[in-house]
Amino acid sequence: MRISTAGMYAQGLQAMLQRQGELARTSEQMSSGVRFTRAGQDPAAASTAQGLDHALASLQQYERSAGHVGRRLELQEEALASAGDQLTRARELVVRANSATLSDEDRKLIAVEVRHLREEMISIANRGDGAGRSLFAGTRDGVVPFTDNGGNVTYAGNDGNNDVDVAPGFAITDTDPGSALFLRVPTGDGIVRGSADAGNSGSGVLSSASVTDHAAWNGDGITVEFTGADSYRVVDAAGDEIAIGTWQSGQTISAGGVQMKISGAPAAGDSFSLSPAGERDIFATLDGIADALEAPGSNAAADARRTNILTGALGDLATAQDHLLAARASTGSRLASLDNAAESRSATGLALETTLSDLRDTDYAEAATRLTMQLTALEAAQQVTLRIQGLSLFNKL
């Protein structure tokens, strides 16, 4: 085999250039703190690092989404607290108005404040999140949820709500639809509601109505009909008589697993009913209170009619308050879940960043050792090249 002088020189130069390239790469790693700047330098690590970058970017998106839904839930909690305050004030006004010492003019003044409370409730139900979206429109955007059309409140939203991803595999429900919060509000005690017939001509007042034996109550309505000033009969929803008796003011009438306490002086033909509690929008409840307060008390029957309406409204307001408190509790639970999601994102992000650092960041101890070895290899390559360059046949002559 013939080895030319030029070939030996080229081989020595290539070895030195290779050692210099390795040395330059190690120096760059130590100065920049990054193990590779191109995927070709470490394809496997670069591919894994790219996946980790995407996962970290997803966590940042989760964090932004969590911040947005968290602000909306905080605004919902504030709105529900304000609505609860309005109902508390309404109850105070009803208690004050349900007094025989007030004149018709006094009650009309109270009715003005009740109607103002109703307007405030509509304003609360139409609150926005500051970003152009209503809090209580469901999944609909760009609409005003509640509109008062001549005393009849209509809802332009829907019954939906959005589930927002706030952590990997974890979603939080956005604000509640206004239909569930303000329209579908339980009445009575949430189980049953008692009422006096609008055509009663006596001064009988229904003080309370409740279920005493759920096993005996069949879930249907029951009516107490007065057959005389001191006698009554109880009929079920089908009109069948289930009890009869004599009565005196303040007596509690029990039959079919329910009871009603009636006072005053009912006239023959008057009736009082107990039925399963339905749902009613809170605006209509406030409207009904104001209407009752504005009605003149011309006689004992009219006074009793107003008292029955206000007594029933007190129960409706109390149940509505419980309804909003339950919604506030749900909101608080979701806010607490957001805190848990934040902790989960933080722990996941730290693990991803640690793994990414192991892949991408320079290990200075290893790099320094490698740099020393590469310097030694470069010096050896230089010495070998110098010795080869010094070889000649003339040295053998």
Number of domains in the chain: 1
pLDDT for 345: 84
User: Is residue 167 in some structural domain?
Assistant: no
Strands in the chain per DSSP E: 146-149, 152-155, 163-167, 170-173, 185-186, 192-196, 205-211, 222-228, 231-236, 241-246, 252-255, 258-263, 271-276, 279-280
Residue 33 in any domain: the answer is: no
Rounded to two decimals, the pTM is 0.80
Output the CA torsion sign for 357, 362, 364, 369. positive
Assigned domain for 303 exists: no
In a domain, 200, yes or no: yes
Q: Does residue 236 fall inside a structural domain?
A: yes
Asked if residue 92 belongs to a domain, the reply is no
Q: DSSP letter for 257, please.
A: T
Q: How far apart are CA 111 and CA 84, in angstroms?
A: 19
Per-residue pLDDT of the chain (397 residues; tens, 9 = 90+): 455 666 656 666 666 666 666 666 656 655 555 655 555 555 666 667 667 667 778 888 989 999 999 999 999 999 999 999 999 999 999 999 988 888 999 999 999 999 999 999 999 999 999 888 999 999 998 899 999 998 899 999 999 989 999 988 889 999 999 999 999 999 999 999 999 999 999 999 999 999 999 999 989 999 999 999 899 999 999 999 999 999 899 999 999 999 999 999 999 999 999 999 999 999 999 999 999 999 887 788 999 999 999 999 999 999 999 999 999 999 999 999 999 988 888 888 788 767 766 665 555 566 567 667 766 766 666 666 666 665 555 555 5
The Cα 252–Cα 272 span in angstroms is 12
Q: Is residue 36 part of a domain?
A: no
Print the domain residue range for 230: 195-276
pLDDT attached to residue 17: 66
pLDDT of residue 386: 64
pLDDT at site 136: 96
pLDDT at position 70 is 94
Residue 16: predicted pLDDT: 65
Would you say the C-alpha torsion 372, 378, 381, 385 has a positive or negative sign? Answer: negative
pLDDT at 226: 95
The reply to whether 257 falls in a domain is yes
| Beta partners for residue 148, in sequence order | 153
b/e map 12-37, b = 16+ CB within 10 Å: beebbeebeebbebbebbeeeeebbe
- What DSSP string describes 163-178? EEEEETTEEEE-PPPH
The pLDDT of residue 191: 94
